[in-house]
């Protein structure tokens, strides 16, 4: 099948079953145990082709369509668990996606199947020990895979059977094209290449024409990933302020009924307990809660006895409630697929719904990726002010009281009311009762001031104009460039490894022959500069870029120290390699 001959698979829900695809009974049992009933379109198209194993496969489908299972199930069916060879290598654009892919594969794998993760920020010693245990499947990010292949020589893939590129277009966006091509050169000719991508830009087509010959193409007709009935918004908050921000958002809703997603079981327990202490009708569910208790909790939630359900993604599978008003991402998920699954639980059956995300600085990159995938800008809203929350609570009290009076409810308190009114004037008595019942809830001293976590850059935030020429950003000089094997993707990865955390919104990156420039948000720039200054107080590898001269050129005096710069490894490895090739510079925008 040529590049131009596409196999288009329409929505197969409730038409095709997993049993129709040729999977084994053992695998069907695992699929059923996970609660899956029908394959997605990409799964129905790819699985039979991959099981036959005749050609390479290109799968074009949006994020959120189940691509991982599409390649994982057939690969696991054909895996030789007795072999000491790495049989499958899967490349993913980010560490978060690599982790999720590995977890998904593990959920279908037999006991004895060994899967090793390789990604920046993880302990290299643990990875080396894992590779010595002869895994059958390796999942990793291109930068770390290159490190193990070329520098450490700890990754052997000469007997590889399957080479998988997941979210290939996103890897190109980050700048991993050269890394992908270098990794392919280490793989044997006799292998199956599986490439999955939401789009097919020229860079992807170049890879296809160069490395993929005889192949089948499965293309899923594009559709809107998110329901138009769902209003999506986010609030920029510091991690420490998330709970207070959550309470404000809930308190200005008349009839909140929704699911609140957390990343971990501990977060679920913590947030649910705090909400409960504030009087909300809330319960939490996660994998450590036994099935019987989870069923009871879900029954109470569906009946409306519980208005807020705090859950992990795994525990929330199978929840089907048509009249939810809100889905809240207390923590953003690790990839856009999970995001679309989460928010799709509101706005059903023709109803309107809201999807609210709390986003701190470390989430900026994921937010940008989600927006690219869903092809929609998520509005950044301003958190309700303290006075707005108080006024809303007062209005709700008045409305509820009016309803009780009109309905003549609460008559059992009439005698007590008469006794109370004998204590003084109606206004003073009522004020005392409110004080007893609400404390300082209608006072501004009851609330803490919250600050936004400013990460968006010039288009969404203010801030000083630094050397970058963009509001809120600073331009940094990095004494490494194309000669050191740097490209935009592994420059970001290198900086993150050195500072031991994630960068927020990244602006322009210029990779030159012997050095590079990168625009970072003010707070990130300060952190990076501090780290590298501490590593070498005299000649730090990263410094603040000098302002451009009137002639437009960068003023930089190397004082003949280029050789010293190139000898710097930063203690991490994998970035001080001279591949003898010229890399393109000029990266514009966020990864």
Contact between 472 and 461 (Cβ < 8 Å): yes
pLDDT band at 226 (very low <50, low <70, confident <90, very high): low
Question: HEC profile for 138-175?
Answer: EEECHHHHHHHHHHCCCCCCCCCCEEEECCHHHHHHHC
Strand bridging mode 162-165 / 192-197:
parallel
**Phi, psi dihedrals of residue 426, rounded to the nearest 5°:** -55, -40
pLDDT of residue 232: 94
What is the per-residue pLDDT across 441-500, written as a single tens digit (0 to 9) for each?
A: 776 666 666 766 655 443 333 333 334 455 567 889 999 888 888 888 788 888 988 888
Helices (H), 34-66: 41-52
Q: Can you give the pLDDT at residue 58? A: 94
Handedness of CA 80, 81, 82, 86 (dihedral sign): positive
For the chain, the first-to-last Cα distance in angstroms comes to 33
Tokens, residue 210: 């160069």
Say if residues 330 and 271 touch (Cβ distance below 8 Å).
Answer: yes
pLDDT attached to residue 445: 62
Instruction: Provide the b/e sequence for 319-352 (b: ≥16 CB within 10 Å).
Output: eebeebbbbbbbbbbbbbbbbbbbbbbbbbeeee
Pick the more confident residue, 151 or 582: 151
Please state which CATH class domain 473-566 belongs to: alpha beta
| 144/218 Cα distance (integer angstroms) | 29
Q: Is the pTM of this model over 0.85?
A: no
**Is residue 58 classed as helix, strand or coil in its secondary structure?**
strand
Q: Where are the domains of the chain?
A: 7-220, 230-383, 387-446, 473-566
Residue 571 has pLDDT above 90, yes or no: no
Q: What CATH number was assigned to the domain covering residues 7-220?
A: 3.40.50.300
Are 584 and 511 in contact by the 8 Å Cβ rule? The answer is yes
Provide the pairing of β-strand 326-329 with 353-359: parallel
pLDDT band for 411, please (50, 70, 90 cuts). low
Instruction: Examine domains 7-220 and 230-383 and report if their fold is the same.
Output: yes
DSSP 110: P
Helices 386-406, 242-251: inter-axial angle, 10-degree rounding = 40
Q: Which class would CATH give 230-383?
A: alpha beta
Sheet with 282-285: strands ordered across = 282-285, 308-311, 258-261, 326-329, 353-359, 230-236, 379-380
Closest of 264, 258, 246 to residue 330, by C-alpha: 246
Summarised one tens digit per residue, pLDDT across range 26-74 is 999 999 988 788 898 899 999 999 999 889 999 988 766 788 999 999 9
Q: Helix count (H) and strand count (E) of the chain?
A: 20, 19
Judging by beta carbons within 10 Å of its beta carbon (0-12, 13-18, 19+), is residue 147 exposed, middle or buried? buried
What is the pLDDT of the chain when averaged over all its residues? 80
């Amino acid at each position: 099948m040529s590049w131009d001959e596409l196999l288009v698979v329409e929505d197969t829900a409730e038409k095709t079953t997993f049993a129709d695809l040729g999977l084994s009974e053992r695998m069907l049992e695992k699929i059923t145990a996970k609660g899956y009933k029908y394959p997605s379109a990409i799964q129905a198209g790819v699985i039979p082709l991959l099981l036959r194993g005749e050609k390479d496969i290109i799968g074009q489908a949006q994020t959120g369509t189940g691509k991982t299972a599409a390649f994982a199930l057939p690969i696991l069916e054909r895996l030789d668990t007795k072999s000491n060879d790495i049989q499958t290598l899967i490349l993913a654009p980010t560490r978060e996606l690599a982790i999720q892919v590995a977890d998904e594969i593990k959920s279908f794998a037999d006991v004895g199947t060994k899967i090793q993760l390789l990604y920046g920020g993880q302990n290299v010693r643990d990875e080396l020990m894992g590779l010595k245990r002869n895994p059958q499947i390796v999942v990793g990010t291109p930068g770390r895979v290159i490190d193990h292949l070329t520098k450490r020589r700890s990754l052997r893939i000469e007997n590889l059977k399957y080479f998988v590129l997941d979210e290939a277009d996103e890897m190109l966006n980050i700048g991993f094209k050269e890394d992908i091509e270098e990794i392919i050169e280490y793989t044997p000719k006799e292998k199956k290449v599986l490439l999955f991508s939401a789009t097919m830009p020229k860079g992807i087509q170049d890879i296809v024409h160069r490395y993929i010959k005889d192949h089948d193409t499965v293309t899923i007709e594009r559709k809107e990933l998110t329901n138009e009935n769902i209003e999506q918004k986010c609030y920029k908050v510091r991690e420490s302020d998330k709970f207070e921000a959550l309470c404000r958002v809930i308190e200005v809703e008349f009839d909140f009924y929704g699911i609140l997603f957390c990343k971990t079981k501990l977060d679920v327990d913590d947030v649910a307990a705090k909400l409960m202490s504030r009087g909300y009708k809330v319960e939490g569910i996660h994998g450590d809660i036994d099935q019987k208790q989870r069923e009871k909790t879900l029954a109470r939630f569906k009946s409306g006895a519980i208005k807020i359900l705090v859950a992990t993604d795994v525990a929330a599978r199978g929840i089907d409630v048509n009249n939810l008003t809100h889905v809240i991402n207390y923590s953003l998920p690790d990839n856009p697929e999970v995001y679309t699954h989460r928010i799709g639980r509101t706005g059903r059956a023709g109803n309107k719904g809201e999807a609210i995300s709390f986003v701190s600085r470390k989430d900026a990159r994921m937010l940008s990726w989600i927006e690219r995938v869903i092809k929609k800008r998520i509005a950044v809203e301003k958190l309700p002010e303290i006075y707005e929350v108080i006024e809303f609570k007062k209005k709700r009290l008045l409305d509820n009281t009016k309803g009780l009076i009109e309905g003549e409810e609460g008559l059992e308190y009439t005698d007590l009311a008469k006794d109370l009114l004998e204590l003084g004037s109606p206004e003073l008595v009522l004020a005392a009762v409110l004080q007893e019942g609400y404390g300082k809830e209608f006072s501004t001293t009851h609330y803490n001031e919250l600050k936004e976590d400013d990460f968006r850059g010039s288009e969404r935030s203010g801030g000083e104009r630094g050397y970058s020429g963009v509001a809120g950003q600073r331009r940094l000089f990095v004494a490494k460039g194309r000669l050191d094997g740097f490209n935009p993707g592994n420059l970001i990865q290198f900086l993150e490894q050195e500072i031991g955390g994630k960068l927020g919104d990244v602006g322009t990156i210029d990779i030159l022959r012997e050095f590079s420039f990168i625009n970072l948000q003010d707070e990130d720039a300060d952190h990076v500069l501090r780290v590298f200054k501490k590593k070498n107080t005299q000649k730090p590898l990263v410094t603040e870029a000098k302002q451009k001269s009137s002639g437009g050129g960068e003023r930089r005096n190397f004082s003949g120290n280029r050789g010293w710069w190139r000898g710097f490894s930063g203690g991490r490895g994998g970035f001080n390699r001279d591949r003898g090739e010229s890399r393109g510079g000029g990266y514009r925008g966020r990864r």
